[in-house]
Amino acid sequence: MKINIYYGGRGLIGDPTLYVLNSIQEVLRELNVNVERYDLYEYKNNIVTLPQTLKDADGAVLATTVEWYGIGGYMQQFLDACWLYGDKEKISGIYMCPIVMSTTYGERDAMTSIIEAWEILGGLPCTGICGYIADVSELEENIGYSRVIEKRTEDLYRSINQKTAVFPCSNQAVKQKVSFTSGLNLTPQEAAQLSELASDDLYVQKQKEDIQELASMFKNLLNEKEPDDTLFLRDFKTHFRPQAGFSAVYKFVIAGARNPLIVKVDRTDMECYYGDVENADVEMQISSDIMNDITQGRMTFQRAFMSGDMKMKGDFKVLRTLDLLFAFI
């Protein structure tokens, strides 16, 4: 029989979870169990490869310490790796004992998270240990606590040895319906290769660079079409209605356009072009869609401004005259 222990804490002196794990290891050795322990903080760059260590395990102990909230990053990364790269068929036959010690609030919630995660993976959870321990000396001096640790360890041993039946749970049913990893259809060998590649920092960095290069290339291809510098010019020219004695300069900053659209009105004369001008009586920011709605008669400049679809700065009276100068409706 082989049992793997995965410790998700930071390995700090005085961590009560370490004391519990050491006690569990002693009991398992007395029962002639082959025990292998993985302190996840020592494998932080290779956590994605650790699900492969479950292949020859009959049981597992998932242990972590709640220092402020939740199961902690290392344990979460390990469970994520099991979901993405683990052999679900193998995990479905592994009994798991959760161990959660807390130096703050939330040990029960954290243990529930581990149990639910293991159930979703398809594994078999056993009765675990959780508790609030402010000082590790409480564990060392209390014989009752030692007996609880010994009892839970023996329960795990019996469950594995006797292949104790575990009732199915809805978490496993949900996994069968929504699991996206099943679509990969990876063999155990392919899963091992994938997890090794995922743990190779140089490989991952190279893939990221390749993806960025491809994204940039496609973006350039999509942007090869130059902006149309004649858009809306004909609409303004054909719908111009001069107002007696009125002159003004309008500047439209249209989203996506290379240059602003400039409309110069001088009494009966009107000039419009894409470019720039130093001084404009009114400067407007507008989208191409809203400008199209206006030139097609579905909207007015004043309504676009009042509804917030167009922003402006300058003389509001000059803005209001736009709907008189250009009779799109």
Kindly state whether residue 210 falls inside one of the protein's structural domains: no
Pick from 174, 61, 164, 71: nearest CA to 120 = 174
Q: What is the mean pLDDT of residues 239-263?
A: 91
Pair (161, 290) in one structural domain: no
Beta bridge pairs of residue 137: none
Rounded CA-CA distance 75/100 in Å is 11
Pair (194, 248) in one structural domain: no
Pair (179, 31) in one structural domain: yes
- From residue 123, give the alpha-carbon distance in Å to each of 88, 214, 275: 8, 40, 67
Task: Give the pairing of strands 247-254 and 124-125.
Answer: unpaired
Pair (93, 240) in one structural domain: no
CB neighbours (10 Å) of residue 192? 17
Where is average pLDDT lowest: 31-45, 174-188, 227-241? 174-188
> Structurally, how many domains does the chain consist of?
2
Q: Is 68 exposed, middle or buried (0-12, 13-18, 19+ CB in 10 A)?
A: exposed
Q: Hey, is 225 helix, strand or coil?
A: coil
**Which tens digit of pLDDT belongs to each residue from 61-70?**
999 999 888 8
Pair (175, 126) in one structural domain: yes
Considering the entire predicted model, what is its pTM? 0.56
pLDDT the model gives residue 197: 63
Kindly state whether residue 193 falls inside one of the protein's structural domains: yes
pLDDT the model gives residue 231: 81
- In the chain, % helix, strand, coil (3-state, to 5) comes to 50, 20, 30
Q: Which domain holds residue 260?
A: 233-325
Buried/exposed 200-221: b ≥16 CB within 10 Å, e otherwise: eeeeeeeeeeeeeeeeeeeeee
Residue 206 has pLDDT above 80, yes or no: no
Pair (174, 274) in one structural domain: no
Kindly state whether residue 302 falls inside one of the protein's structural domains: yes
Pair (237, 197) in one structural domain: no
Pair (160, 274) in one structural domain: no
Pair (237, 193) in one structural domain: no
Identify the CATH number of the domain in which residue 60 sits: 3.40.50.360
Kindly state whether residue 240 falls inside one of the protein's structural domains: yes
Pair (80, 147) in one structural domain: yes
Pair (273, 166) in one structural domain: no
Pair (189, 251) in one structural domain: no
Rounded CA-CA distance 145/153 in Å is 12
**Which tens digit of pLDDT belongs to each residue from 180-193?**
444 445 555 565 56
Kindly state whether residue 227 falls inside one of the protein's structural domains: no
